[in-house]
Amino acid sequence: MIEKLAVVTVVVKDQEEALEFYTNVLGFEKRTDFTSSWGSRYVTVAPKGQDIEISLFKAGTYPGQNGGGITWEAGKGGGVLRTSDCKRDFEELKARGARFDESKPGEAAWGVYATLIDPDGNRFTLLQSAANQA
């Protein structure tokens, strides 16, 4: 039986630029960074204190098991980043250079949200659930 989700993949054009964004702008910590014997770099980041990691996977075509290639494209990933104060985090992240789809966080019955965009166009919803609204 599966116990928990450990790593999700976000495809990026430049791993170093992505690493800079996720660590210096979002404040995540680098967990893994190594280069395999065939030259492929494996880098993961995560919010401090959390088990789940994000693999910053370089876009490109890689050999498949059956001889064909598997193409990974940047900018087609994303997810949800929970926060206890979306408006505060929106302003703080924007001050650090983060881009958002909205000019200010939106409000809905399910919570306060803003769509964060990483340097490659991957989108993450910054979400303060309705249960955490003041």
Domains of the chain as residue ranges with CATH: 7-72 (3.10.180.10), 78-132 (3.10.180.10)
* Radius of gyration for the chain, computed over Cα atoms and rounded to the nearest angstrom: 16
Tell me the pLDDT band of 65, cut-offs 50, 70 and 90. Answer: low
Select from 81, 76, 85, 122 the least CA-distant residue to 101.
Answer: 122
pLDDT at position 59: 92
Select from 93, 3, 115 the least CA-distant residue to 52.
Answer: 3
pLDDT at position 2: 63
State the pTM of this model. 0.83
How many C-beta atoms lie closer than 10 Å to residue 117's C-beta? 15
Neighbouring C-alpha atoms within 13 Å toward the C-beta of 56: 28
The percentage of residues in the chain with a pLDDT greater than 90, rounded to a whole number, is 69
Give pLDDT tens digits for 99-133.
Answer: 999 999 999 888 999 999 999 999 999 999 987 66
